[in-house]
Amino acid sequence: MAEPKTVAEFAQRVLLGDCLTDKLTHAPPSLSLDPPRRQSFKIPTLPGRPDHLKPRSNDGRSPFPSTDQLDSEEQRAILLHFFANHELLAVELMALALLKFPDAPDAFRKGVLHTLQEEQNHTRWYLQRMKECGVEFGDYHLSPMIWSHISDMESPLDYVSRLSLTFEQANLDYAKHYAEILREAGDLKTAKILQKIYHDEIAHVGYGIKWLRRWKEKSQSDWDAWNRQLHFPLSPIRAKGLAPFNEDGRRKAGLNDEFINRIKHFQSSRGRSPDLYWFNPDVEAKAQSPEQKTPKRIEELAADLEYACALSAPSEDDLVLLRRLPTDAHRDYLRKHGLSFPELGSLALLEDIQKQRKIRRKDPWGNPDSKLLSKEFGLQLRQLVDTTPIEAKICQSEEEIQSFTELHSFEQWVAKPLLSSAGRGNIQFSKTHKIRGRYLIEPWLKKDLEFSLLYQVGPPTQGGIRFLGICFQNVSQTGQWLSSTSSPKPASHLPPEQAKLISHRVLPEAKKQILKALEKLIENKAFEGPLCVDSFLHQTPKGLEWHRVSEVNARWSMGRLAHQFRTKMAPNQPVTLGTLPLHEAHDQKDLILLGDPSCCTRRVAFLKIHSNLEASSMFSMPGQSANKTST
């Protein structure tokens, strides 16, 4: 092929040629910069390549090697194969930018040309090292992902936003991380290559931020200008590698503190549409009266507790809407404890987000349209699974209550609103009590041990209902939630009589009889999601007895969140989720404060991971003597 004489001729050779050697050959020193002109360059579907090197979407996709596999020379070569493909795509995209924007400033085009030649070097280094490890380019899958995200760029600002400040910024994480990993694995040759590439990438990101600042509106911050330039499905998440966040490299590239903090804490899906979460603990009240305004104290408490939901239930690909977005300082604090938020948005924009975003599934705390929120559902389950159920009845007048309670010898009773949660609205009484509306009337029993049986309800094609485990509940004398403790061995550290009941009766029946009864009750109810059955042990003249079904919560619950935290953070240790009065939060050194004391108004949610949980400490957590939480 004839030696190119202009930048355009060189760029066409790199982009459209099907000879790998030509693609990776530097431009001659005598290359002249084309005069500025406007033209319409037709973007090829894919860059020109030999057939065996053409990118193909998910065609025999090769698994990305894990860190543990990098002791193997073959796996290191596969890692380099991934990186070489990315570098070659970057070379081709830079050639495309030179062809698409011939009227861009000369300094910009010279910078692209210089960067292109450095990316050619990177590709050659990877190919040579791969060959030494016994792998040829094309032996494994070649993805077109970077090409598909960038090739339709519409301006030089698009180019620096998508390539320099997104994919090359992510390489600040990858190159540094894998240089260190391979150095530890003893592959000093590859580590040296990655270190050289890392040094170049700092300059490439610096090039991008320089031109972003030149072209953005003066009133815009760097972050806002860049973020607004990205278009779905590209988002700032692609500017972070699946590796430790490299703050130092970004600072050396010239990114400012605001930009670094924003990208550090940014989270969103890398591919699939997100599940949408939000915390609506007033769901039972909304089910009864949709137009009723949530009381201010409930909204304040919800804002205090919603971080527990946001940090435990969703995955990093999901979207959570909050009343109060976390500060950067609190995000840093949580990150030190191994916790990070997924993508966040404002709950005030719920309706707009549901219209504008493609959502895979909506997953609020509870669905007010669910037919399973009423305590009637729990009463139906109780009648199916309890051979000698404690008498209970739904009444709606003083006369009905009196007639029912006179039939039984219990001294204390409780009236529970059919649509309420966590003891809210419960009325304890010893004689007939004037009530309006329908209530579940049942004896008030002294409970020795309260717990929840946790289930996940899925479609039959995915296994239907699954039993997840037991979570112990600490509840106030009026039935209000105080804390939840999830333990991998639920019978451990309990008194012998309680441990025996849990091991020999509760667990087996939860997995069989109760699960089958739930399947029968929710059949054709179109319900999927978390479900928990509140249960307890209590003393009777015959000894300790198990009351199988106290209530059923066909929604998320604090017990389920505690279970989620344990499986995520400490699968083999007990974990407690609870709240503290605001004034006590700063004095707790052995707790992880999920809520931010500087922002909370009533309570601060906390997490405690127990190294050796004793029975006495299971329910005696800080700040609960005066706890009035009702969630």
Query: Per residue in 400-425, pLDDT tens?
Result: 888 888 888 888 888 888 888 777 78
The one-letter code for the residue type at 599 is C
Strand 275-278 with 361-364, pairing: parallel
Dist. CA 255–CA 248, nearest whole Å: 10
Helix (H) or strand (E) holding 578, with range, is: strand 575-581
Peptide bond into 233 cis (omega under 30): yes
Please work out, in degrees rounded to the nearest 5, the angle formed at the alpha carbon of residue 167 by the alpha carbons of 165 and 168.
Answer: 65
The residue assigned the tokens 């007010």 is 368
Dist. CA 89–CA 288, nearest whole Å: 57
pLDDT of res. 200: 97
352 Cβ contact list (under 8 Å, min separation 6): none
Structure tokens at 254: 């010239």
CB atoms within 10 A of CB 598: 10
Tell the burial category of 211 from Cβ atoms under 10 Å away from its Cβ (0-12, 13-18, 19+): buried
Dist. CA 569–CA 571, nearest whole Å: 6
Residue 611 DSSP SS3: coil
Predicted model pTM: 0.75
**Does residue 457 contact residue 464 with C-beta atoms inside 8 Å?**
yes
pLDDT of res. 586: 77
Q: Hey, what's the torsion of the CAs at 559, 562, 568, 571, to 10 degrees?
A: -90
**Does residue 303 contact residue 323 with C-beta atoms inside 8 Å?**
yes
Helix (H) or strand (E) holding 171, with range, is: helix 168-184
* DSSP state letter for 61: P
- Alpha helix (H) residue ranges in 426-535: 496-501, 507-511, 513-522
Nearest CA to 248 out of 184, 176, 332 is that of 176
pLDDT of res. 626: 36
What string of DSSP letters covers 303-324? HHHHHHHHHHSS-TT-EEEESS
pLDDT of res. 615: 42
pLDDT of res. 625: 44
What are the average pLDDT values for consecutive 10-residue runs of the chain, which has 631 residues? 85 94 91 71 89 79 79 90 96 95 93 96 96 92 92 94 97 96 93 97 97 95 94 88 94 96 86 90 86 87 95 91 93 92 93 90 90 89 83 87 85 86 81 77 89 94 91 83 92 91 96 95 89 94 91 94 95 93 84 94 93 54 44 40
The residue assigned the tokens 């050697």 is 21
Q: Which domains does the chain have, with CATH numbers?
A: 7-28+69-265 (1.20.1260), 275-364 (no CATH), 391-444 (3.30.1490)
What string of DSSP letters covers 330-381? HHHHHHHTT----EEEEGGGHHHHHHHS--SEEEES--TT-TT-SHHHHHHH
Dist. CA 31–CA 92, nearest whole Å: 18
pLDDT of res. 253: 97
